[in-house]
Amino acid sequence: MRVTSEVTRRLVTPERYHFGASVRPILVPKHDPCGRFDGTAFWLAVRTPDGPATLRLTRDDAGVTATTWGAGRDWLAEHADAVAGLRDDLDGFAALAAAHPLVARLARTFQGVRLPATHRLFPRLLRAVLEQKVTGQEAHRAYRMICRKFGEPAPGPAADLMLPPDPAAIAATPYWVFHPFGVEQRRTQALQRVALIADRLEQCADAEEATRRMVAVPGIGPWTAAEAVRVTFGDPDAVSVGDFHIPNTVAWALAGEARGTDERMLQLLEPFRGHRGRVCDLLAAGGIGAPKFGPRMPIRSFARF
């Protein structure tokens, strides 16, 4: 039975706050079965510690209104400002950004964009594992299929919204069931390992603790952990070491070098410590990219393996 009672909370927004750009990183591009943003309202289905819940955020001239439904509605209403990015702390970043003219310019241009924090780790970890070593198109297609297979209808008025998969269901499913979704055994087993300890991961107090626990799991490296904690905890310092594109982007933007290693990227980002991940996000938001050489990564399919 769908829970229909709701909780409403008004959220105060900072000057020049950019609603859409702040909440959109939570969702898989183009279509996310567990959430959506239509330009006016942002919806998100969540498995909270108190049970399933749905969040709707709407923006007006006075700020943002958060409305929640479901057994976990009180928990989700309490965390609605974090989901909207309104707990993101920019204190001191302008001084750090001044170390490089491009970063300083981008920081001014996108000062209204805030980092969201969902405080639910497994849904973002699911997406990050699926994005390992494949194209975004492959990973996001697999994510949608898995959410439709293992998700459940979310509470509230959005009839087509799905709750994220229950980690217990992922852990209990044979790995070959994931082949038609385009996910091979290696990624499936990494996903199932973190699903088995999802309850402990959700209890992590901060990004540092969560990262330490995640990278101790076979198949979960620094890249996957950084991708997960950036949105889960709104961590502005999370750098996706091991990414295919980001080292080149940072090297090109900050030093005019067409190609960069992880070591060079971290060296160039060191003046921005505490906000290194934010700088990477700013470069992406500004459309900064290194020159491209060679063929693109092909899209593969494991569906018939």
pLDDT digits (tens, 9 = 90+) for 136-171: 999 999 999 999 999 999 999 998 999 999 999 999
pLDDT digits (tens, 9 = 90+) for 206-247: 999 999 999 999 999 999 999 999 999 999 999 999 998 999
Provide the mean pLDDT of the chain.
94
Distance CA(275)–CA(169), nearest Å, equals: 36
Contacts for 300 with CB less than 8 Å, ≥ 6 apart: 134, 138, 182
Assigned CATH topology for domain 6-89: TATA-Binding Protein (3.30.310)
- The average pLDDT across 172-199 equals 97
Read off the pLDDT band of 3 (50, 70, 90). very low
6-89 and 121-232 share one fold: no
Read off the pLDDT band of 102 (50, 70, 90). very high
pLDDT of residue 221: 97
pLDDT digits (tens, 9 = 90+) for 36-53: 999 899 999 999 999 999
pLDDT of residue 61: 84
Q: Are 54 and 80 in contact (CB under 8 A)?
A: no
Answer yes or no: is pLDDT of 299 > 60.
Answer: no
Q: What string of DSSP letters covers 222-279?
A: HHHHHHHHHHHS--TT---TT-SSHHHHHHHHHH--S---HHHHHHHHGGGTTSHHHH
pLDDT of residue 292: 81
pLDDT of residue 125: 97
pLDDT of residue 176: 95
Read off the pLDDT band of 295 (50, 70, 90). low
Read off the pLDDT band of 294 (50, 70, 90). low
pLDDT of residue 298: 53
Answer yes or no: is pLDDT of 30 > 60.
Answer: yes
pLDDT of residue 247: 97
Q: Are 205 and 229 in contact (CB under 8 A)?
A: no
pLDDT of residue 261: 97
Q: pTM of the predicted model, to two decimals?
A: 0.92
Percent of the chain with pLDDT over 90: 90
Answer yes or no: is pLDDT of 262 > 50.
Answer: yes
Q: Which CATH class is domain 121-232?
A: mainly alpha
Distance CA(55)–CA(154), nearest Å, equals: 10
Ramachandran area for residue 105 (φ above 0: left; ψ -120 to 50: alpha; else beta): alpha
pLDDT of residue 197: 98
pLDDT of residue 4: 60
- The average pLDDT across 187-196 equals 98
> What residue spans define the domains of the chain?
6-89, 121-232, 246-285
Q: Return the amino acid letter for 161.
A: L
